[in-house]
């Protein structure tokens, strides 16, 4: 089994790299942010409860996210997974242990704050394929249309300046303590996330892909 957590601030490139590595290793990419966006779009009870938290950049209450994750992970029958955006606080990390959801390595995406802000403020999203682009760093081939399905790309509601500031603050206050938590378990590996996408792809493959 290959079971990873991708840890780091919003906009560090976790989703972009998880998308790449999950395909290379034929493992599952599990983004709790994406699972929540699906619930919100489908207007489920959990989605309705989560919507305002997601839009403002606050953490969705643990019990809602944990339930969604547990439900999703129970259906997986593969060679492993990447948890992207979970856990985001110590209680969530402990819930993985309680539910025997194993973790072999935690990859910490080290990145500067100003790079994160540039990445999030230029991020574009395909609401159909769930693929991310960047207007400057990863532009779609045709203007602002998705390369796969040609739908119009949109900006996420939580990529506005106010939510970005809030998400960075929430990360520092609630998620950052997980660095020490996983360091103490001997599972933490750092990656320099300021580099270009392809360079990080290769580093990840060399470090954990084999």
Residues with catalytic function? 14, 88, 123, 156, 167
Residue 54 as a binder of ligand AMP (CB under 6 A): the answer is yes
Give the sign of the dihedral formed by CA 32, CA 38, CA 41, CA 45: negative
Residue 33 as a binder of ligand AMP (CB under 6 A): the answer is yes
Q: Are strands 123-125 and 132-134 parallel, antiparallel or unpaired?
A: antiparallel
Cβ nearer to ligand ADP, comparing 86 with 133 = 133
Cβ nearer to ligand ADP, comparing 25 with 108 = 108
- Would you say 82 and 21 are in contact if contact means Cβ atoms under 8 Å apart? yes
Size of the site for ligand AMP (CB under 6 A): 18
Residue 119 as a binder of ligand ADP (CB under 6 A): the answer is yes
Q: Angle at which helices 113-121 and 161-170 pack, to 10 degrees?
A: 140
Residue 137 as a binder of ligand AMP (CB under 6 A): the answer is no
Closest-CA residue to 154 (of 179, 128, 190): 128
Q: Using CB under 6 A as the criterion, which residues of the chain lie in contact with ligand ADP when the complex forms?
A: 10-16, 119, 123, 132-134, 137-138, 195-197, 200
């Amino acid at each position: 089994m290959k079971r990873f957590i991708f840890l780091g601030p919003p906009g560090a490139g976790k989703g972009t790299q998880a998308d790449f590595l999950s395909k290379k290793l034929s493992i599952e990419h599990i983004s709790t942010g994406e699972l929540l966006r699906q619930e919100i779009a489908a207007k489920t009870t959990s989605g309705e409860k989560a919507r305002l938290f997601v839009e403002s950049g606050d953490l969705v209450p643990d019990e809602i996210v944990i339930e969604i994750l547990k439900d999703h992970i129970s259906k997986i029958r593969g060679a492993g997974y990447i948890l992207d955006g979970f856990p985001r606080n110590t209680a969530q990390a402990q819930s993985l242990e309680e539910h025997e959801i194993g973790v072999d390595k935690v990859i910490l995406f080290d990145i500067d704050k100003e790079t994160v802000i540039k990445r999030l403020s230029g991020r574009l999203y395909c609401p159909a394929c769930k693929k991310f682009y960047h207007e400057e760093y990863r532009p779609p081939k045709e203007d602002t249309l998705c390369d796969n399905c040609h739908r119009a790309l949109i900006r996420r509601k939580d990529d506005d300046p106010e939510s970005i500031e809030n998400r960075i603050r929430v990360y520092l206050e609630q998620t950052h303590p997980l660095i020490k938590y996983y360091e103490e378990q001997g599972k933490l590996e750092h990656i320099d996330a300021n580099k270009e996408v392809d360079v990080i792809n290769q580093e990840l493959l060399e470090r954990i892909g084999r």
